[in-house]
Chains A and B, each alone.
Chain A
Amino acid sequence: MRLMTDPDDIDLSFAPRRARDVAAVELERRAVLYRSGEMLQLDELATLLWNCFDGQTRLEALVDDLVCVYGTDRTAVEADVVSFARNLGHEGLLEGVQAAQAG
């Protein structure tokens, strides 16, 4: 049996991959995601991250890039990126991550 990751265990060493059953489209650089009757809209930065969730790239590498490009405080970026990945995990949008139970 394949082990599922608890969303709250996601940390900077995790390499998220977009779940295969998520439908997505980009409109004005913002992604709209759809899975199991739920639709979620991402902002531009979140869309950028979502597109990098290829199952190979660790969150810490994405944080490196964001800090380099935007010159923002690393601690805050780390917290935001991990929080974003955990939220997507809870929503069932990441491969191998256990979604929160409905209801």
Chain B
Amino acid sequence: MIQTTVADGDDPRFVALGHHFTLRCTHAGLRRYLLTLLAPFASSRPAPTHYRLDIDPGGTSSVWFGDACVVRTGDAAHAVAMFLWHLNQETIRVTTDRLLLHAGVVARDGRAVLLPAGMEAGKTTLVTTLVRAGAQYLSDELAALDPVTLEVAAYPKALSLDAGSWELFPDLEPDVDPAVLPLLPHQWQVPPDAVRAGSVRESATPTLIVLPRYRPSVRTALRRLEPVDALRELAGCTFGFREAPQRSLDVLGRLAAAVPAYRLSVSDLSEATDLVFDALARGVGTCA
């Protein structure tokens, strides 16, 4: 799985859902680091789009996507952050054959738990905890649903841990060349294999929907949602919903009808993990 294919001109190729791209980076240490992050996307297929990172730690750095300049800045770490942001946005933009939800996704034995939530809800922290506890990793950012089968495909990007979660996972601090450290974005980017080796799974069947919300002053608890309430929540997490509402509702309606949904208030991650795994063992969605 963790294998990089070298393309013409030594530019490695990757595929993230519908986004096929190559990467060229002028900074050797940063290039090695990025190849580690992107390893789950390594591909041998031709890539029609190309990123180029011209990194000068003491001067101006720029990120190019084809002929378009994504950013030109005196802050190399900002350039790297913009590259990762652009990669994510472009993946969302070009992946038109699937319905994309803003959601973490983990699985057990091929049975997926979708964790839809907006920013700052604690998705990545919960996903990291679940993967450490044995869950398979599909994404901390996107649930990519097949509109016919509802099967969810992996988008196994590096997990983006905010500073607020660092003390929970001190061993996941990026172990990089000191020369590269100043070039890294403020978020920790953690390869899934660093969370748990061999944790990435390519696809899974939605079996449980859990809407997490970090609420430090509230007891950790799961509360069952009516399908129609789950549908409204899922709609709010769907990329491009306003542009294609009927297509989105058709898929989300089937998902909400077939898969039990819960709201999860999280104050204790260990309890939250037990609750999710128990619900996954109990709840049998009918997508399969």
Q: Which residues of A contact B232 (CB under 8 A)?
A: 32, 39, 41
The answer to the question of A30 belonging to the interface, with a C-beta cut-off of 8 Å to chain B, is yes
Q: In the complex, which of the residues A27, A35, A41 has the most CB atoms of chain B within 10 Å of its own CB atom?
A: A27
Q: List residues 218-262 of chain B with CB under 8 A from any CB of chain A.
A: 227-228, 231-232, 235, 242, 245-246, 248-250, 252-253, 256-257
Pick the contact of B235: A24, A28, A30, A39 (CB < 8 A): A39
Answer yes or no: A45 CB below 8 A from chain B CBs: no
The reply to whether B228 and A30 contact each other, CB–CB distance below 8 Å, is yes
Chain A interfacial residues counted at CB < 8 A: 13
A25 on the interface (CB 8 Å rule)? yes
What's the nearest-Cβ distance from chain A to residue B26, in Å? 44
Interface size class of B (residues with CB under 8 A): 10 to 19
Verify A32–B245 contact, CB threshold 8 A.
no
* C-alpha gap A55/B256 in the complex (Å): 30
User: Are B228 and A28 neighbours in the complex by a CB distance under 8 Å?
Assistant: yes
Q: Return chain A residues, CB-CB under 8 Å to B227.
A: 27-28
Query: Please, could you name 6 A-B residue pairs with CB atoms under 8 Å apart, sorted by A?
Result: A23-B248, A25-B252, A27-B253, A28-B227, A28-B228, A28-B257
Task: Enumerate chain B interface residues (CB-CB to A < 8 A).
Answer: 227-228, 231-232, 235, 242, 245-246, 248-250, 252-253, 256-257
